[in-house]
Amino acid sequence: GDVNSNVLVARSTGDAQLDKAVWQWLSWDKNQKTKEQIESLLQDGKHQELRQRLCCRLTFGTAGLRSAMGAGFCYINDLTVIQSTQGIYKYLERNFSDFKQRGFVVGYDTRGQVTSNCSSKKLAKLTAAVLLAKDVPVYLFSTYVPTPFVPYAVQQLGAVAGVMITASHNRKEDNGYKVYWENGAQITSPHDKEIIKCIEECVEPWNGSWNENLVDTSPLRQDPLKKICDSYMEDLTKICYHRELNVQSSLKFVHTSFHGVGHDYVQLAFKAFGFQPPIPVPEQKDPDPDFSTVKCPNPEEGESVLELSLRLAEKEDARVVVATDPDADRLAVAEQQENGCWKVFTGNELAALFGWWMFSCWKENCSPDADVSNVYMLATTVSSKILRAIALKEGFHFEETLPGFKWIGSRVKNLLDDGKEVLFAFEESIGFMCGTSVLDKDGVSAAVVIAEMATYLQGQNLTLAQKLVDIYETYGYHIAKTSYFLCYDPATIKRIFERLRNLDGPQCYPKCCGVYNILHVRDITTGYDSSQLNHRAVLPVSRSSQMITFTFQNGCVATLRTSGTEPKIKYYAEMCALPGHSDRGVLEEELQKLIEALIENFLEPAKNGLTWRSA
């Protein structure tokens, strides 16, 4: 083995930087499969691919480190997870004098890739091993858990930080490494930059870092599963307001866990609310790293991926389907309508329902002297402004954050520390936070809150869809459309956005888009906002990603941005009408035309070789 490696290294690639990277990989990687991947690329003289795999590193996106599993310094594998954990150890040791008393939480989902001998569970064990070898107490879950269990456990156990090994709803080839801070929220800058620096300072694995047996032998390893699960379910009942209705309810629900972690936990959550357990989709209830019954494991893709659950619901006469994504931090919902068709709600529509519901429940249950101006709801800036409309009418506060739940989590923590009450927060990509037991999106709690809402509405002879119309009639129609184009060439993406920044001359943003006049432009990448007196954006600048928002004269707000986790250019557009201006058809037509103009004039898909997502 090793002699052979040295012979291979002697085969110079003619590139000193690459030679060094190859040598490092072959001398550090102890995973036979990934080591062999690099060896065979070297033997076949595939220097371009070697460069692509070895000459760049993982960086923190909107959800931590995320990449394909496989060999290389910019992929997720045993070695890069060890390196990342060593960096985190270094950073935490500098920041917390009580690190070795308080410890660290590690959770994982059910992903894996046989060809790289890589699985979330194995990566979690290696993460734990690096820390245990340094005498840090580690709370490593003994089985897979929903992502929200990690931030929840960090707060409950008073740990300094935690990691969840997951790539959420990404394609099956991917995995990821999501870091939570002591406040139970995902890390934001500057922590991410500082951690990357620390990772780069100690790339060579330490003695003991590869010793995954430590999780079975070290007295410093504890399994928090029972304690955290019991405590989570107990805390869940704080947002259960109609237990007596739930107990008697005749409504049936179907739940799919998309081959991921959700099944057991959603069953327990329904039980905690007094419901009969939801009917699971048998083909999708058990973990399967290949996600073999869906073309992609993202419940956001709508009816096409919900096929099995909708057919089962029809057979079982269940009117509502809830779908958790593979790591159970997001929720999709479908409801059968009078005509037998299914309505799959968008994230923005669900948020309108949750916002109405969480506020109504607060109002009914608050003490007589409770102050509505102490109450908050939050959304990311690319999400629907429906909560803003509800807040204006009802007297509570609404705030916006940058895209990504990490921004919501940190802001909510600050509001709570300030004595404020936060009822609900969301992002349009079906991420919901009901209550504040978990400072991150949570599909388990959202699923059971939807079930209670549907049960309550049934008592009023209303469906979720009817209530949604009712909310729009009361607070004004908010009609949003979101989709994306795939673009695998970073240079093209950069060119598209740079063109917009200089469309009407150097540093002159566009004043119209086709026939639509633009009122304001906000560019989060550069920190420019034409609506502010000093032209400085209020939200923090985010130079590493592209994001420009246009406010049109007709009341439409549209954002173009790059995805933080996938090779996509996403677009978001919403028409917001005042209450009483509710000709939905007219609004929808106007929005559709504006989106067509936006794509045609600003994204130019034909010229830029963009592929539209196949709906």
Residue 261 tokens read as: 């972690």
Q: What is the pLDDT of residue 1?
A: 45
Nearest to 51 by CA among 20, 29, 26: 20
| pLDDT surpasses 60 at 180 | yes
Catalytic hit among 84, 116, 119, 168: 168
pLDDT at 583 (0 to 100) = 84
Single pTM value for the model? 0.93
CATH of domain 56-225: 3.40.120.10
User: 590, 576 in Cβ contact below 8 A?
Assistant: no
Model pLDDT for residues 137-171, shown as the tens digit of each residue = 999 999 999 999 999 999 999 999 999 999 999 99
Summarize pLDDT for 35-84 with one digit per residue, the tens.
999 999 999 999 999 999 999 999 887 678 999 999 999 999 999 999 99
- Predicted confidence at residue 64, as pLDDT, reads 86
The domain locations on the chain are 9-52, 56-225, 230-347, 477-612
What is the DSSP code string of 48-96? HHHHHHHSS----BBTBEEEEBSSSTTSBSHHHHHHHHHHHHHHHHHH-
Which tens digit of pLDDT belongs to each residue from 561-589? 998 778 899 999 999 988 887 688 999 99
State yes or no: pLDDT of 615 exceeds 70. Answer: no
Asked if residues 401 and 412 have their Cβ atoms less than 8 Å apart, the reply is: no
pLDDT tens digit string along 96-138? Answer: 999 999 999 999 999 999 999 999 999 999 999 999 999 999 9
477-612 domain in CATH 3.30.310.50? yes
CATH topology match: 56-225 vs 230-347:
yes
Residue-wise pLDDT for 413-425, tens only, equals 999 999 999 999 9
Contacts of 521 (CB under 8 A, 6+ apart): 509, 510, 528, 529, 530, 548, 549, 550, 551
Choose the CATH number for 230-347 among 3.40.120.10, 3.40.50.970, 3.40.640.10, 3.20.20.140: 3.40.120.10
437 catalytic residue (yes or no): no
Cβ count within 10 A of residue 182: 17
pLDDT above 90 covers a percentage of the chain that reads: 90
